[in-house]
């Protein structure tokens, strides 16, 4: 892309940001990202988070989902957040920095959870986009495999998974895999998710637990 085109694109992005009502509201309310409203809208409709909910927030930085979760969860609930990037602390949230697809990081998350099963897995992780379709699908697939694999290790029977994807082959495949592991799976596009974005969320409810040949069957 030429320098001129890049400059125009970033100017358009900045103008869109300024006009976006969710960006303005996030600033006014001291929230770290407009993504706060996506989780809020999904939670208000599907009642995912209660005071006693034990949850992980995967791809948590800069921290608006953690801010939302921490406001709703109280003892004995728990919020553990993970990101590749650093994240300023959010009171009530245990943050771990690392690559969630790295087995050692996943084990650290399980340790932070004290091996107690989770009620809810949230993933807002997004891979770096290269612009090369096959590469981007492969990166997305690695992330979604890690998310679903984690559910088999840590999510209780009847538990819930909310995971972000971009419409495409990986989303289709993930929906099929979630269909085998959850009683109900649906695609959600909250109002705060930009209409022109291919972003969708898959919500799986009623986790069936790991099959006998797949790790921990708790
Ligand atoms: C859209 S942002 C999340 C925004 C966040 N939900 C919020 O409300 O502030 C996506 C995040 O996923 C993280 N991420 C992407 N791949 C990851 C990985 N393999 N492990 C951990 N975090 C990852 C990125 O670093 C980025 O901070």
Residue 174 and residue 124 in one domain: yes
Residue 25 and residue 87 in one domain: no
- Average pLDDT rounded to a whole number, residues 74-90: 96
Is residue 182 scored above 50 in pLDDT? yes
Mutate to test the pocket of ligand 1, among 124, 150, 190 (most ligand atoms within 8 A of CB): 124
DSSP code per residue over 11-31: HHHHHHHHH-HHHHHHHHTT-
Q: Residue 23: give the domain boundaries.
A: 1-30
Residue 171 and residue 113 in one domain: yes
Is residue 64 scored above 80 in pLDDT? yes
Is residue 179 scored above 60 in pLDDT? yes
Q: Please indicate whether residue 34, judged by its CB atom, sits closer than 6 Å to ligand 1.
A: no
CB neighbour burial string for 169-196, b if at least 16 within 10 angstroms, e if fewer: ebbebbbeebeebbeebeebbbebbeee
Q: Please indicate whether residue 84, judged by its CB atom, sits closer than 6 Å to ligand 1.
A: yes
Q: Please indicate whether residue 64, judged by its CB atom, sits closer than 6 Å to ligand 1.
A: yes
pLDDT at 8: 74
Mutate to test the pocket of ligand 1, among 61, 142, 170 (most ligand atoms within 8 A of CB): 61
pLDDT above 90 covers a percentage of the chain that reads 77
Residue 87 and residue 18 in one domain: no
Question: What whole-number distance in Å separates Cα of residue 24 and Cα of residue 2?
Answer: 31
Q: Please indicate whether residue 82, judged by its CB atom, sits closer than 6 Å to ligand 1.
A: yes
Whether the full predicted model's pTM is greater than 0.85, yes or no, is yes
3-state secondary structure of 148: helix
Question: In which band, very low, low, confident or very high, does the pLDDT at 15 lie, cut at 50, 70 and 90?
Answer: confident
pLDDT at 130: 87
pLDDT at 1: 61
Question: In which band, very low, low, confident or very high, does the pLDDT at 215 lie, cut at 50, 70 and 90?
Answer: very low
Ligand 1, atom nearest to 125 Cα: 12
How many domains, in total, are found in the chain? 2
Question: What whole-number distance in Å separates Cα of residue 57 and Cα of residue 83?
Answer: 9
**155-166/54-58 β-pairing:** unpaired
pLDDT at 13: 67
Residue 50 and residue 116 in one domain: yes
As annotated, the active-site residues are: 164
Question: What whole-number distance in Å separates Cα of residue 104 and Cα of residue 110?
Answer: 10
Residue 14 and residue 121 in one domain: no
Question: What whole-number distance in Å separates Cα of residue 61 and Cα of residue 95?
Answer: 10
Is residue 53 scored above 60 in pLDDT? yes
Is residue 216 scored above 70 in pLDDT? no
pLDDT at 217: 32
């Amino acid at each position: 892309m030429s320098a001129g085109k890049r400059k125009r694109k970033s100017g358009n992005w900045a103008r869109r940001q300024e006009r976006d009502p969710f960006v303005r509201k996030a600033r006014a309310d001291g929230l770290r990202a407009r993504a706060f409203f996506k989780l809020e809208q999904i939670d208000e409709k599907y009642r995912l988070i209660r005071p006693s909910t034990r949850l992980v927030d995967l791809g948590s930085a800069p921290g608006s989902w953690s801010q939302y979760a921490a406001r709703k969860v109280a003892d004995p609930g728990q919020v553990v957040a993970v990101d590749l990037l650093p994240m300023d602390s959010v009171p009530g949230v245990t943050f771990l920095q690392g690559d969630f697809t790295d087995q050692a990081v996943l084990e650290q998350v399980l340790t932070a959870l004290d091996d107690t099963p989770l009620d809810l897995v949230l993933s807002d992780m997004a891979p770096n986009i290269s612009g090369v379709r096959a590469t981007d699908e492969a990166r997305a697939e690695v992330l979604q495999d890690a998310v679903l694999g984690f559910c088999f290790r840590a999510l209780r029977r009847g538990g819930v998974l909310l995971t972000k994807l971009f419409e495409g082959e990986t989303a289709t495949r993930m929906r099929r895999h979630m269909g085998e592991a959850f009683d109900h799976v649906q695609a959600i596009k909250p109002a705060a998710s930009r209409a022109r974005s291919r972003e969708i969320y898959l919500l799986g409810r009623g986790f069936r637990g790991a099959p006998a040949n797949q790790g921990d069957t708790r």
